[in-house]
Structure 1
Amino acid sequence: MVRTGTYQFQATFGALFGFRAPSVAALGALAAWIAVILYASSNSIVTALVDIGQMNPVAGGRNAITYTNLYILGSVISLLPLALLYRRDLKRDNLRRLTRRHWSLLTVSAVLSSVLTPGLFFYALEHTTVTNIVLVGRIEPPLFLLATWFFLRERLNPWAMLAGLVALVGAIVIIGADSGMVSFGKGELATVAATLSFIASTIVTRAGLRDVPIGVFAVFRTVIGASLYFILVTAIFGADQFQDLFAPVLWQWVWLYAIVVIVLGQIAWNFGLKHARAGEVSLATSFSPMAAILIAMALLGEDPGPGLIPGGVLIVIAIVIGHLGRDTAKDQTAKSKDRHVVIRPYWEIPGWMPNHVAVRPLTSTAALATPPPGDKARSKGRTDRQTMPSLQRRHFPPLLNGKFQSS
């Protein structure tokens, strides 16, 4: 069905434009790159919109395009597209399957990822540059690997850890090259706290929410996150913080943040994850820090200083190290699968025919414990000769170099 639809799309595309349409895998890779660019530009877009609000104040000289207004209004606007995008996940049966533990973990994840993390990042944007936020955020990959190893008992990939540390050194070089020393202010400290909050939310999600549909997770996190964020900001700063929520200048520009960054970013990312190869998605996400720095330079006129080139080279080296590690891990996994094979009796194969045998990775001993059909037939008064062909040598071709050769 999908293949037929793909062929029809390619035929229609070729008839309209005179050349063959790209494959779905190529479109998936393109979507992954678009999503990475959109997400990398999010901080720069938010900062640019706040600057526009400062240049166009409302009555009383207030700036209506604040970080809090953008987040609340953007979340509300994005709910309808998200609900349409994930309408299959938001069925009543899926919601009924969720236990009290699921809802509790969803709430914790929403507080961490949609209340605490954006609040800290907005505070960081008020006190430092987008470039510094991106660079300080390079502490996330190695810390995340350590967290998954410590809390989830996942295997620690040394190549990924080395790549994360090299990228972190590159970030330190860029930050410290201008002044000769690495200085941490309020913005940088808030970035560290936001990164830790994001890691914690990811750990909660991986530990207890793997079986929750992505649509339920995305919509619930948006609703609960925006609601709790509104309550928290109102309790701390007062209701006047949102008095300009319906200002025309805010509604004029909030669509850029809600539609481009939130909605289109998620659509492109989900399409890329579904159709692109894992290596292409990984390559695209690896360039996210450099893309964010370049976008901040182009959109906001930020200057990372003389450390951009040497630090950027280190970040690129880290990307190469990470991909070498992934290729090495794939090769080791493939070799391990070649060394561990199980020869299954042909009576266990659906629709078996003589001289057929199956080879599969050694993942369990369940197949070895399965009794032949002759054992089951004894209770019916039949003999093994009547129910199972004789196991002659000709039924099992010789195994040579891990592959079956015809005799």
Structure 2
Amino acid sequence: MDRQRQGFLVSGRVYLIIAVLIFGAANAVTRQLTDLGAAHFVDGHNPVSACNVLFVGNVCALGLLGMLYHRQLRPGVLRQMAGRQWAILTLIAIVGGALVPMLIFTALSITAVNNVVLISQLSAPLALALSAVFLGARVNVAVALGAIVAFVGVALTVLLPTASPDSVETTMGLTIGKGDLLVLVAAVLQAIANLISKISLQTVPLGFFNVYRTLVGTVFFFVATIVLFEPSHFMDVTSPFLWQWMLLYSAVIVVGGQLAWFAGLKKSTASEISLATAFTPIAGVLAAYLILGEVPTVAQYVGGAVIVVGIVLNQIGVQQLNRATPLPKPPTPAAMNDKVLYKGV
């Protein structure tokens, strides 16, 4: 029995590692695709623009997710959801499926990938703080201190002087890059959405959650872009070059990452899940270097080092809290999102 359990847990670790590597590479891969599109202009336009990537990527992901989770889309399952759950689910889908990805996509076009990776770590301590205040989540000194240190690391990444052409000055006299500011807003929105998920969507099936989130996010983004801007943003949306890359992107980054993550959640302990997700920023920085050749700046080195210290402290606290904890309960939608801000479209 012990050997069977050990093999079970090892399998879970493997799935988690695969998922973290995929999610960590998502930002760098997105930037690489837009750069690739810039080398294959269609009628003078980049077919792999932010708008096209988000819309076509969501459409591709929606089709793949629909095939994977079609059993959770049956009328009997849908009728079990109350009207309040539908309203909350729709709100979270708009935030997580449209607003947050668009903020990240825009940030990736104007700032370094490493900044996006490191600053997005703010979502985790924010989610922890909100859960502790509103849900009474268990924390100890090490977990709380880790969150504070990680927050300081993000602040250093944002505020240490860099030669960024997109910087803006705040009302307090602080200089912050526009891309950094967009990631900060995305992190705050995602942390709030995670809290609402934990409160109201514990019983919503994971597969349905992701299909509905992708569907609503796609429709909302498309309509909002048409209304607020103009249809020309989707001028090259029919480009075969765009679709072939987005099909591959959606299959590997979105669907592959989610499947590996869900499998890891089901087969691993809470401590193992927390430890695996702690490596996401490291995976993101390494991916930016290996895929894009992006070398961290002094601010990123300093901020990243402090964030790693915060992660280590957090892990110490998590180990203390979960030392005697059995295998976790079935994962909820919030469990999918509370550690990693960006997982593709």
Length-normalised TM-score, structure 1: 0.71
Q: Does structure 1 residue 111 correspond to structure 2 residue 94?
A: yes
Superposition pairs for residues 74-89 of structure 1, below 5 Å? 74-89=57-72
Show the counterpart of 2:75. Answer: 92
Question: Which one of 12, 15, 18 corresponds to residue 31 of structure 1?
Answer: 15
Select 1:67's aligned residue among 15, 33, 50: 50
Q: Alpha carbons of 1:106 and 1:252: their partners in 2 closer, same or farther (altered >3 Å)? A: same
CA distance in 1, matches of 2:150, 2:163: 19
Alpha-carbon spacing, 1:236–1:160, altered in 2? closer, same or farther (3 Å): same
Is residue 234 of structure 2 the alignment partner of residue 242 of structure 1? yes
Asked whether 1:321 is paired with 2:304, we answer no
**Corresponding position: 1:187 with 2:179:** yes
Paired amino acid for 1:64? P
CA contact under 8 A between 1:33 and 1:284: conserved in structure 2?
A: yes
For residue 134 of structure 1, what is the aligned residue in structure 2? 117
CA RMSD of aligned residues (A): 2.6
The answer (yes or no) to whether the contact 1:178–1:305 under 8 Å persists in 2 is no
* Residue 266 (structure 2) pairs with residue 274 (structure 1): yes
Of all paired residues, the percent bearing the same amino acid is: 34
| Displacement after TM superposition at 1:117 (Å) | 0.8
Shift of 1:157: 4.0
Are 1:166 and 1:318, in contact at CA under 8 Å, matched by a contact in 2?
A: yes
Query: Which one of 219, 243, 251 corresponds to residue 259 of structure 1?
Result: 251
Checking the alignment, whether the CA contact within 8 Å between 1:113 and 1:201 is kept in structure 2 is yes
Q: CA deviation at 1:108?
A: 0.7
Alignment of 1:205-216 (within 5 A): 205-216=197-208
Q: Deviation at 1:97?
A: 0.7
TM-superposed CA distance for 1:94, in Å, is 1.1
Unaligned runs of 5+ in 1: 8-21, 335-407
Aligned to 2:335: none
Structure 2 SS opposite 1:88:
helix
* 8 Å CA contact retained: 1:177, 1:305: no
Cα offsets for 1:328-384 (capped at 9, x unmatched): 2235889xxxxxxxxxxxxxxxxxxxxxxxxxxxxxxxxxxxxxxxxxxxxxxxxxx
Structure with more contact order per residue of length (Cα contacts < 8 Å, sep ≥ 6): 2
Aligned: 1:293 with 2:264: no
Deviation at 1:222, TM superposition (A): 0.8
Is residue 219 from structure 1 mapped to residue 211 from structure 2 by the alignment? Answer: yes
Query: Following the alignment from structure 2 to structure 1, what is the Cα–Cα distance between the partners of residues 48 and 177?
Result: 25
Provide closer, same or farther for how the CA distance between residues 329 and 27 of structure 1 changes in structure 2, counting only shifts above 3 A: closer
Q: What is the CA-CA distance between 1:73 and the residue it aligns to? A: 1.1
What secondary structure, in the 3-state scheme, does the structure 2 residue paired with 1:320 have?
helix
Q: CA deviation at 1:310?
A: 5.0
In structure 2, the partner of 1:197 is: 189
1:167-182 paired onto structure 2 within 5 Å: 167-173=150-156, 179=162
Give the distance between the partners of 1:121 and 1:237, measured in 2 at CA. Answer: 19
Alpha-carbon separation, structure 2, partners of 1:145 and 1:278: 15
- Matched residue SS, 2:192: helix
Asked whether 1:56 is paired with 2:48, we answer no
Q: Does the Cα contact within 8 Å between 1:112 and 1:200 map onto a contact in 2?
A: no
* Structure 1 segments of 4+ aligned residues over 6 angstroms from their partners: none
Unpaired runs of 5+ residues, structure 2, are: 165-173, 327-345
Counterpart residue identity of residue 41, structure 1? A
Indicate if the aligned counterparts of 1:29 and 1:277 stay in contact, CA closer than 8 A: no
Q: In the superposition, relative to structure 1, how do residues 119 and 157 fare at CA in structure 2: closer, same or farther (>3 Å)?
A: farther
Q: Is the CA contact 1:178–1:306 (under 8 Å) kept in the aligned structure 2?
A: no
Q: Which residue of 1 aligns with 2:24?
A: 40
Q: How does 1:348-367 map to 2 (within 5 A)?
A: none
